[in-house]
Structure 1
């Protein structure tokens, strides 16, 4: 027995469940005939006629009101990108941002643009980011907010400087600082113009003449003010500390400038540190006649010459073991004995165990310098996860090592220069040798000679590389400028609790990255950037910076830009009152420092230069997940340091773009997607056709951007197919409202056909869900709602039902006008719902609305407007119950034309029967609302079964639960559907089987024609 039971709840989920029961997804074999069940004379919507096969029907051809519109079904080849360019021009895309800034608005929406780096062509990652931002901005603008969005670019830094120098080759060595800066600026400016042009072509709304650049004089001046604010609070300091150092770039790097190579190969070693002075507990456990060594493992043998200590875990167990091969005694973590013995191809006999705290005050000797003491020290960073449970400590070459040195007063001697070579302090054997190459080899040979090496082996592991040169970095101590993160971290984490993160897990990711960051090195040893505004004493380890020097420098930078640091003589960089105190112009004791600010400090202070008002706080920051440790974090830290406030209310984090199979994009794999080729087509347009910008935007919106985002030919083709289906829906809507004036021809809602009222009911629900999804920045859900609505609700259901009424009724018949009233509302809501995603298509549709004499921009006329009177839950009972019977009927005649059958519906007296009577007052009708839904020749509604069994009839039964007023009215009713082949002939005009003969018109068509 077929059942059409309604769920008991009245929530949205219950309604959705009910609708899935009364109109299940139709199998593919049924879709075809549902579309063609009404075989009306079909013409292209443009108006060009297509002759019907029957000569008898041709005389009625012009009486059928087929859709008329100049809106094209397809834009082929170059038509799509060319049409988009025309629309951008005609609809004022370039003026839209300025227009909305000038209008009166109660609310302001600020999305702060994180600056892309100005060193290359626009790529698909740019498209993902900028289009996501634009969808959000357009939505908020249409909702009535004044949008604040200033595009920006990150223009300084090592990558640009490196590219410029590499292009110059040998000439680079002879260039002055100003020559390098001039060429770097020109390089960045050219990249900005290429990227800006692409962003505008993608339809991104902005005032492209008013962008921000980190090399703008005003921007640099404000950045220097923030620097001094933080310095004045004691948050910026100069210190000799280990930092990530790139020998290939000869500069310090921030963590955000590192990338990790998982295939890096290190030469790891097991090394003996001979016991020199045993602590009391250990002395009692060993036989004084046998030498004992502490066993250490390291992946960086080049750091051993700089060793100052060996660290242990105080709370862990350690063991004295005897090697079965050599008889030597070693100390190592008790839990590591078996694994280390295996690695050394031997076995260990455990002689005794003791606690780590018992190693306190012990010492051992340096493995290369027997007379040098390496004390045993407790440390929290030691683990038993790998190695021996004892860690070799070189304070100049490790962050944790430096922390131990600070705690215990150890020397921090750096034996490595800026080029990654051992200095003379490392000794003649090592001097001028690269620590990562030949230097490592020599250290290992020296360990062998000293009989301190137990084993060397290759280890493949993840290792930090310079993000631009793609070469390994080292950790080395040098004098740098730092921000004291420790003193602002607690405040920053507390403020993050009030920030909304999308997705929510991104908050933990950002906090974890901040926790792992001991300090922030903000100085770089380059020339393309903003100078750190300090003066260094010529002979003493002193520097000069105060409010007077800063005000003077900021004033110069505001007028001339940061070039003044290199173009003006030192005496002009100091104010007169300070100059007189430090030797005057002729005997100046100080020289300008040669370090520049980290570009993450550059971009991280953008809030102070770009955000509006005294609050200077953005509603949204939206960037890729790499910015959790980059721009999001540098923006937060500088803002908290300067004013104890987060610069953002919401942080949205998207994934990276990958190839179609989830692989990383690379030229060698041939899977790099060029946004320009997507829009304008590639060299071989049979493989890379021109799709236009809207396909790119649809792909962005549809993707689950909160994970990695895949793109490839099939994803783009699918996006194009989705938009093509949407175009067909829009064309049907436009074509069928021709000749309709909403102001004079609209039918009041209460007088509309039930099915038309029902569509307005669904339309309001759709509009609410779409609006909520945009508010949550869930553009993927917007696309899913859109696709479901225009395919399932409209094309597959509503349009197939109403074609007869639209095409064959009298033009001004209230029944036709009722339908057109609904179509006008559907068109308006539908276009506005996708306008933020597909702005070109939305504007194109607005140019073709027949009842609008002077088309306005969809973006200048606001968001979706619905009416509360559209919401009529009771209508669901009428339509859904009828649809349950309709599905029984259509399911019984698969592949056949519904118009060739009559339907007899038998319902016991009660609420369901009364509801059906709303749709058909008379017993039998071929023109009732019920029959329109059934798409049959005619429908008969009976309160009891026919007295005689109907020959050739198919009988189907079911039940339907009426549930009204939140469950106050509940009634389950049985129904029977009897399907009978019609005895009527096909009308030569409407092709419904409702005529007495094939030579004569059906009564309805006769009345329409007679009226004409």
Structure 2
């Protein structure tokens, strides 16, 4: 039904409708030229008010239908906390996940939970991550999908082991004793974290979680390990790895933290050249030349095996002005070195690096040792001298050079980070990072090779657990050959949606840098690497038969059985026979455990359902770009040539309001439990779980997320404003049952229909925002809709109709129909973010059974019927005229004025006629929109307008059907103070005499008597 009252308008709007069918039903909204829908107008004195105190007004106060609801305006302190817990109980938060898993659904949505570490209390980082996931899951469940979400915990690893043992250490404890203490510690941490996640309202079946120390999980992990080993991707080798002396174990790249403020004692040192290639000596007669090198790790000098140069760079032999010493270095670095040494460097001869081929130097601290000059691609000119001291046992690039040129890779550092006897008696047992460095520098000084020492502040790898520096040392470890996986991993990653997109480059860069992955750890608390070693040869025994048998045992008994069972059970005769191995007495079981990143990276195999399944999304912090995101990708690509996820959402870290990393030493740690329950010293009030959830949703989670009193108070105030709006909606729906009293949309007042149209637009935008994992945009849309479309616009013009119209009138029921739809839409739109508030509102809302809950009743129920041809143009055209009217009486009460609107015959006039049937009215929909006393709708302004009238003019562009119908309509208005007086009941200026009711109020009261 179109917006028409007379045949001309009917024909016009009917023509629009027919044309819209011919062009696919697409209609464009009207575009105002000089004005738009007005906002910020209060009802003022033009609407009924509960505070009327005059005698006449008091007579009619009880006849006004003011809002009534038990929904509280605010909840604070213990009442708030009790109410949230009551909502969780009453509305079945604990059973919701299981309920939705049992219902029929066309599609499943799988969010795979990255396991938090079970080594401490819940913190705001947990809250940020878990609440983001819950917002996503609740939205998908509301829209009808069956959510697959199984919470998990990463339970192995050194931090748990260290905390569990405390001051006891590992001295005198067996692996099984260590494991028992670590398991108990992890279980206690899991209990505390799980309770917090439940209190935050996170939807899951908390009795069905996954833990990386479960036997079934460990068995699934070993199947992935077996698949990768069968493909030759897992191998044992002796090569440099990141080694943590403080943890006494090898580390993977993902277990490192780079300290950008690390200070090293960098040195410039000389290596005397004993053989300078003839191609250089032909160009200049030089004698006693020394190669000048720079290093930030002086302790590695005793392990030097070569000096590397860049073949395609230019080098020089330059003479020091102060002592005549001849130094060989890159030409490009000469000026910088000269300034550093404080002396001139005069070039004697220049040549290309390739001419250094065949050159030999003497080791500075080992006189009997000579080292070659070798070409290498990793040499750069960014710092130093353009010549790189090379110790293959203690550098990754150095090891590559050693592999190419068959250099020795002797390790001179033990597991505690101290020099071994291979370093010589002067250095043996000294810690390489402290007194060992001091001694090496002293030795260089004694032999005359030390040219310069300086303090160098640079980024250096630290053990992420102990926060102590690591070293690079060779060790016999198990590795994954990621070099052979990288290209495939990068290919499949291109098909993965990543938010924000900028994170893709970071992840690809990290993949590029990772040529191998060390997966063995020298600990007890973890999944044992299922390998046996020959007692005499040390050769490993590991194949599909041995690994499959161990996986079966782990599934039945858990990985403790690796230490509990006799080796005859672990390696039975039938397995030995299939493996074509000797007797079991020839073998011992391995003692290393798997890297915990392999533990968690294989979670897709243990948790995701079906052999070919992928999660719809992984949501984790940006640190997981080199951690769980990457280990999951590499294991999945290795085992089945596909990514384990379709989308990645990467969020930032929670930081203080000053942008600082949270730490107890700075005193800026925000405890989520304190946020919810308040502090004992009352410095922080009890905010409740929904404030914590709002904080998460409102934040720009793709960057660092700030939290503190300011952010939390802002969230609290925002929720209070939302509650105020919801209370107004609920109050005006008292006694209204939408199931029996709702008005058909086609019969509703046009302003009410228009609000349904805006509600539909809002719901579409909100749905899109949730689908794009952007809860912050949801909140911005919500706040704009409430403040602009509801509070400042719709609510300000409907109060008279709601409060003073007949209770069962079409106009009032039409308004209530719109309000109920708005209440329902707003409540559902915010439900994923504020589930406690949403269910609380739903308990008070009309139109459903008392035992029904919001989360079991679906998403926003907008209708395409709410979008009607001509509707938007009619209301927004009237709003454009209203803007002109209000701008002509700035700061004054619109209800005190009569308004004449003059529009030449045409579409705009016909649209305004649809809002006001009579030429002059005090109660039409047009009057309601204008909020004035009376509207005179005419084709031209009267010539006899009073001298005190205010006149203005404007235009409104009607643009329909994609531009097929366009009309630039002019209008004029005249504003005059009304001659009517205020009605004592409705307080509108529509009465003929003082203290007399207006005609509308007379009719209402006569019908109720």
Same-fold call, TM cutoff 0.5: yes
Which residue, out of 215, 224, 227, partners 1:226?
Answer: 224
Matched, 1:96 2:104: no
Structure 1 equivalent of residue 238 of structure 2:
240
1:23 to 33, 37, 41: 37
Q: How does 1:466-865 map to 2 (within 5 A)?
A: 466-578=463-575, 584=583, 588-685=585-682, 687-865=683-861
Q: Check conservation: 2:481, 2:516, Cα contact below 8 A.
A: yes
- Picking from 38, 62, 83, the partner of 2:46 is 38
Contact 1:536–1:544 at 8 Å: present in 2 too? yes
Aligned mates of 2:809, 2:25 — CA distance in 1: 37
Q: CA deviation at 1:965?
A: 2.4
CA distance in 2, matches of 1:12, 1:539: 82
Q: How does 1:417-432 map to 2 (within 5 A)?
A: 417-432=414-429
Q: In structure 1, how many angstroms separate the alpha carbons of the residues matched to 2:192 and 2:520?
A: 30
Tell me the secondary structure at the aligned position of residue 623 of structure 1: strand
Counterpart CA distance in 1 for 2:626 and 2:768 is 30
Q: In the alignment, is the contact (CA less than 8 A) between 2:419 and 2:428 conserved in 1?
A: yes
Report what 1:294 is aligned to: 291
Tell me the secondary structure at the aligned position of residue 117 of structure 1.
coil
1:909 pairs, out of 902, 905, 908, with: 905
CA shift in 2, pair 1:161/1:170, >3 Å:
closer
Correspondence for 1:444: 441
Q: Distance in 1 between matches of 2:30 and 2:425?
A: 81
- Structure 1 residue 18, shift from structure 2 partner: 4.9
Q: 1:700 to 1:20 in 2, by over 3 A?
A: farther
SS at match of 1:701: helix
Which secondary structure does the structure 2 equivalent of 1:566 belong to?
helix
- Residue number in structure 1 paired with 2:19: none
Q: Are 1:761 and 1:873, in contact at CA under 8 Å, matched by a contact in 2?
A: no
Distance 1:16 1:497, change over 3 A: farther
Q: Secondary structure at the match of 1:852?
A: coil
Check 1:750–1:171 CA distance in 2 against 1; reply closer, same or farther (3 A cut).
closer
- Provide Cα deviations, 1:729-763, integer angstroms capped at 9, x if missing partner: 11111111222222322222222111011111111
- The answer to whether the Cα contact below 8 Å between 2:825 and 2:860 also exists between their aligned partners in 1 is yes
Partners of 2:186 and 2:49 in 1: how far apart?
61
Residue 204 (structure 1) aligns with: 202
Matched residue of 1:533: which SS?
coil
Pairwise CA distance, 1:583: 6.4
Distance (Å, rounded) in 2 between the aligned partners of 1:496 and 1:582: 41
Cα-to-partner distance string for 1:301-331 (whole Å, 9 max, x where unaligned): 0000000011111111111111111111111
CA contact (8 A) 1:19 1:880 kept: no
Alignment CA distance shift 1:698-1:20 (3 Å) = farther
Deviations 1:856-878 (A, max 9, x none): 11111111122111112522221
Q: Does the 8 A contact of 2:28 with 2:961 survive in 1?
A: no
**Gaps in structure 1 of 5+ consecutive residues:** 1-9, 43-50
Deviation at 1:164, TM superposition (A): 2.1
- C-alpha separation between the residues in 2 aligned to 1:873 and 1:765? 15
Match of 1:932 among 928, 931, 937: 928
1:568 to partner: Cα distance = 2.3
Q: Partners of 1:595 and 1:18 in 2: how far apart?
A: 74
Q: What is the DSSP-based 3-state SS (H/G/I as helix, E as strand, rest coil) of the residue aligned with 1:941?
A: strand
Distance in 2 (alpha carbons) for counterparts of 1:867 and 1:779: 23
CA change 1:147–1:801 in 2 (3 A) is same
Does the aligned pair in 2 maintain the 1:524–1:597 contact within 8 Å? Answer: yes
Q: Residues of 1 paired with 2:313 and 2:868: CA distance?
A: 71
Alignment of 1:357 with 2:371, yes or no, is: no
Which moves more between the two structures, 405-414 or 862-871? 862-871
Matched, 1:143 2:143: yes
Task: Give matches, 1:17-96, under 5 Å.
Answer: 18=32, 21-23=35-37, 26=40, 34-42=42-50, 52-96=52-96
Contact persistence 1:582–1:590 (CA under 8 A): no
- Picking from 360, 363, 371, the partner of 1:366 is 363
Query: Which of 868, 876, 882 is the equivalent residue of 1:886?
Result: 882
Report the RMSD for the aligned CA atoms in angstroms.
1.9
1:387 matched residue in structure 2: 384
Structure 1 contact 316–355 (Cα < 8 Å) conserved: yes
SS at match of 1:909: coil
Query: CA contact under 8 A between 1:242 and 1:477: conserved in structure 2?
Result: yes
Q: Which residue of 2 aligns with 1:108?
A: 108
Equivalent pairs counted in the alignment come to 983
3-state SS in 2 of match to 1:461: strand
- Alpha-carbon separation, structure 2, partners of 1:367 and 1:203: 66
1: CA distance, partners of 2:177 / 2:827: 53
How far the C-alpha of 1:666 sits from its partner, in A, is 1.9
Determine the C-alpha separation between the residues in 1 that align with 2:366 and 2:348: 29
C-alpha separation in 1, matches of 2:735 and 2:34: 36
* Secondary structure in 1 matching 2:343: coil
Give the C-alpha shift of residue 894 in structure 1: 3.2
Contact 1:738 1:851 in 2 (8 A): no
Cα gap change, 1:36 to 1:616, in 2 (>3 Å)? same
Distance in structure 1 (CA, Å) of the matches to 2:785 and 2:28: 18
Q: State the Cα distance separating 1:973 from its structure 2 match.
A: 2.4
Contact between 2:32 and 2:877, CA under 8 Å: does it hold in 1? no
Superposed CA offset, 1:43-99 (max 9, x none) = xxxxxxxx6311222221111111111111111222222111101100000001001
For residue 350 of structure 1, give the secondary structure of its aligned residue in structure 2: strand
Query: Displacement of 1:477 after TM fit?
Result: 0.6
Secondary structure of the equivalent of 2:991? coil
Where does structure 2 lack aligned partners over 5 or more consecutive residues? 1-23
Cα distance change, pair 853–211 in 1 and its aligned pair in 2 (3 A)? closer
Match of 1:281 among 279, 282, 290: 279
Residues 1:20 and 1:411: Cα distance change in structure 2 (over 3 Å):
farther
- 1:177-216 correspondence to structure 2 within 5 Å: 177-216=175-214
Higher relative contact order, structure no. (Cα contacts within 8 Å, ≥ 6 residues apart): 2
Q: d(CA) in 1 for partners of 2:812 and 2:902?
A: 29
Could you say which residue in structure 2 is the equivalent of 1:921? 917
Aligned equivalent of 1:305? 302
Distance in 2, matches of 1:944 and 1:890, equals 20
User: Given the superposition, is the C-alpha separation of residues 597 and 21 from structure 1 closer, same or farther in structure 2, using an over 3 Å criterion?
Assistant: farther
Q: What SS does the corresponding residue of 2:995 show, helix, strand or coil? A: coil
In 1, the alpha carbon distance for the partners of 2:34 and 2:739 equals: 36
